[in-house]
Amino acid sequence: MFEYDPVMYSRILTYVTLGFHVIFATIGVGIPLMIALAEWMGIKRNDPHYTLMAKRWARGFIVTVAVGVVTGTAIGLQLSLLWPNFMQAAGHTIGLPMFMEVFAFFFEAIFLGIYLYTWDRFKTKMRHFLLIIPVVIGATASAFFITSVNAFMNVPQGFELVDGVLQDISPLAAMFNPATPTKIAHVIITCYLTSAFILGTIAAIHMIKGNKHVYHKKALHLTMVAAAVFAIGTALVGDLSGKYLHEYQPEKLAAAEWHFETESEAPLIIGGFLTEDNEVKYALEIPYALSILAGGTPDTEVIGLNDFEEDKLPPLFVHYFFDLMVFIGMFLAAVSVLFAIMSWKNGWNPFNKPLLWMIAAGGPLAMVAIESGWIFAEVGRQPWIINGVMLTEEGATTSAHVDIMLYLFIILYVVLGVTCAVVLRKMFKRNPVELELEKLESSEKTAQ
pLDDT in tens, 233-265: 999 988 888 888 888 888 888 888 888 888 888
What is the C-alpha to C-alpha distance for residues 303 and 45, in angstroms, rounded to an integer? Answer: 54
CA distances from 357 to 53, 322, 335 (A): 22, 25, 10
- pLDDT value at 134 more than 70: yes
The confidence score (pLDDT) of residue 337 equals 92
Instruction: Convert the pLDDT of each residue in 168-220 to its tens digit.
Output: 888 888 888 888 999 999 999 999 999 999 999 998 988 888 877 888 888 89
Instruction: Convert the pLDDT of each residue in 376-424 to its tens digit.
Output: 988 888 888 888 888 888 888 888 788 888 888 899 889 988 998 888 8
Mean pLDDT of 352-364: 90
Quote helix, strand, coil % in the chain, to nearest 5.
Answer: 75, 5, 20
Instruction: Convert the pLDDT of each residue in 99-130 to its tens digit.
Output: 888 888 888 889 888 888 888 787 788 888 88
Instruction: Convert the pLDDT of each residue in 208-234 to its tens digit.
Output: 888 778 888 888 999 999 999 999 999
CA distances from 368 to 153, 225, 440 (A): 23, 21, 37
What is the C-alpha to C-alpha distance for residues 355 and 339, in angstroms, rounded to an integer? Answer: 8
